[in-house]
Chain A
Amino acid sequence: MSSEALAIETAGLSKRYGAAWGLQDCSIDVPEGRISALVGPNGAGKTTLLRLLMGLRRPTSGEARVLGRAPAQDEDFLASAGFLAQEIPLYRRFSAAGHLRIGAHLNRRWDAAAAEQRLTALRVPLDRPVHSLSGGQRAQVALSLALAKRPRILLLDEPLAALDPLARREFLTSLADVTVEGDVTVVLSSHLVHDLERVCNHLILLTASRVRLCADIDDVLGGHRMLVGPRRSTAELERLFTVVKVTQTERQSRVLARLDGPVLDPAWEVSEVGLEDIILAYMSEDQAVAAGPLSLAGGTA
């Protein structure tokens, strides 16, 4: 994996707003060509990270490299990076065709024909003002506008949030389709996991402004296991592996752990875990820590 070219590389990237940290000490790698899911609860720092990567915000400390250079508001960078903000910034009274005409004047490289073809194939009307389109159609217009400049990286902030299931599926299909052709790297954020799993092959998990996971999804799935056994202390496990979440009942212990080697103790029954469960475990661990000293890492036999 280290031999692959990296579309995104950050080191200690941090952003503070007044007294609060939006993002702390974020160090991630995203290889080129991935469709990466940026996941985390609301307020975890997803928007902050995406805006830092687009150069719309400047970091408080640390650095980021996108497509090999620091993101900045200059025309070269803007020509190679596409961004879709959460609020879908379109001019309500202009039509999709109108936006495409404007885009042609604002961008160096502009493929309006492909964008029109795309929208027509999706049955999105080109000549009606954007405010009269459905949420899904607006999202597709915004995506087409971001794609028309043929960017090498595409950053999308919660593009699925306001879409109904069918529109979500169509949007994700569009994204996957985009990566079939070119060398585009996509990062899209969401606080829902289920839909993303089909299309994303890389995961960045943020909770409370920190990165918890950043890896190919296959590696995440391969590296985490659920261990179930009769109730006992988890101290030994914690010594050997990274324990993410422990659930103890009177009779049973259930542990989600990041394994980098075999579990030799035969009392543990080891099974695979779904991605959504892994992510939820990280997110709830955070809440348990925040809740106080009765954390999950202290089990008694």
Chain B
Amino acid sequence: MTYLIWRLHRVHAIAAAVVIVAVAALIVPTGIAIANSYHHAVMNCSVSHVGCGGIAFTVFGNNSVFTSLVQDLAMAVPLVFGILWGAPLVAGEFEAGTEDFAWTQGVTRRRWVLTNLGWALLAAAAWGGALAALFTWWRGPDNAVDGPVKFIYFDVQGVAPIAYTVFAVALGIAAGALFRRVVPAIATTLVAFAAVRIVTALYFRPLFAVTKNVSALAGPPPLSYSLGQDVLGGSNTAACKTLRCVAAHGAYNHISYLPASRFWPVQGVESGIFLVLALALAIFTYWLITTREA
């Protein structure tokens, strides 16, 4: 059965490998350049105390369009895997009627679905992991300057992308098993994946936020992800035109932020959630294939 999966999908696997190599070829040179530039700037700053304030601009300013583009593409990777690998895996066979081939050639449904799921999710984890490692390395300097927890920064590095990719592929496969047609499977994967990602980013991550009141002149600590700031309180602040004035009148800044130190805990829990969802989808797929009938 593994041999069949290899024969059916080796083109996909090789294409994905080529894509990873291409991505690496694209970002490794710039990554190295950025890292060098960053180390230079840090050296200058610590040795000759020059340009310490403008490191971020010096290093990243010229590349900002490029880096944003790369990171936006990186965000899309899990969904792309889900749509190109997950959705057609099972649905494609049902559409072509070829599941009958395996099922009458000595492969039980159980073995068929488990082998398909196993290899697909393993490949998703491997490919997602390779890309995540690549982007985590690439983001090194920017993490030092801007922190890893901001939206998008968080989503493309660490272990979360692995969990997103595994989830997306599991979602694609489940949708494919449910609808038995590739197009509805793709559509469902797209919508459901986006929905779950948005909900977790909007409602789950803030659960780990730190909320406190600080001086009206202060803001969230460096390298953190600001989730909201509100200057409140104080008396007779209407006439004030500067923050200093408002602060003098007793106002404070009510801030909510995700500290850089919580990067790994949040990554861990969010990844756990996505992996649990992926497992649930895999179980659902198994049940669909072995119990529901043609």
Instruction: Specify whether A and B are partners.
Output: yes
Query: In the complex, what residues of B have CB within 8 A of residue A149's CB?
Result: 105-106
Query: In the complex, what residues of B have CB within 8 A of residue A167's CB?
Result: none
B108 A75 Cβ-Cβ under 8 A: yes
A51 at the interface (CB under 8 A from B): yes
A73 B1 Cβ-Cβ under 8 A: no
Select which of B2, B4, B104, B108 is within 8 A of A85 by beta carbon: B104
A105 B3 Cβ-Cβ under 8 A: yes
Q: List 7 A-B contacts (CB under 8 A).
A: A54-B104, A90-B98, A91-B8, A102-B105, A103-B105, A146-B104, A149-B105
Interface centre among A85, A90, A94, A107 (most CB of B within 10 A): A85
Taking CB as reference atom, which chain B residue is nearest A57? Answer: B293
B101 A90 Cβ-Cβ under 8 A: yes
How many residues of chain A have a CB within 8 Å of chain B? 31
A73 B109 Cβ-Cβ under 8 A: yes
- Shortest CB–CB separation between residue A143 and chain B, in angstroms? 12
Select which of A79, A106, A108 is within 8 A of B4 by beta carbon: A106
Could you tell me which A residues sit within 8 Å of B by CB distance?
Answer: 51, 54, 56-58, 73-75, 78-79, 81-83, 85, 87, 89-92, 94, 98, 101-103, 105-108, 145-146, 149
Taking CB as reference atom, which chain A residue is nearest B1? Answer: A106
- Shortest CB–CB separation between residue A174 and chain B, in angstroms? 18
- Shortest CB–CB separation between residue B92 and chain A, in angstroms? 11
A51 B294 Cβ-Cβ under 8 A: yes
Besides A73-B109, A89-B99, A91-B101, 10 more A-B contacts (Cβ < 8 Å) are: A56-B103, A81-B104, A83-B104, A87-B100, A89-B101, A102-B4, A102-B105, A105-B3, A105-B4, A107-B105
Cβ proximity bits B104-119 to A, threshold 8 Å, 1 near / 0 not: 1111111000000000
Taking CB as reference atom, which chain A residue is nearest B108? Answer: A73
Could you tell me which B residues sit within 8 Å of A by CB distance?
Answer: 1-4, 7-8, 96-110, 293-294
B106 A79 Cβ-Cβ under 8 A: yes
B106 A108 Cβ-Cβ under 8 A: yes
Taking CB as reference atom, which chain B residue is nearest A17? Answer: B293
With the chains together, A79 CA to B7 CA distance in Å? 22
A105 B1 Cβ-Cβ under 8 A: yes
- Shortest CB–CB separation between residue A11 and chain B, in angstroms? 21
With the chains together, A207 CA to B102 CA distance in Å? 31
A78 B293 Cβ-Cβ under 8 A: no
- Shortest CB–CB separation between residue A257 and chain B, in angstroms? 40
With the chains together, A83 CA to B2 CA distance in Å? 22
With the chains together, A105 CA to B107 CA distance in Å? 10
B100 A106 Cβ-Cβ under 8 A: no
With the chains together, A57 CA to B104 CA distance in Å? 12
Select which of A73, A82, A94 is within 8 A of B7 by beta carbon: A94
A87 B107 Cβ-Cβ under 8 A: no
Taking CB as reference atom, which chain A residue is nearest B104? Answer: A83
Taking CB as reference atom, which chain A residue is nearest B98? Answer: A89
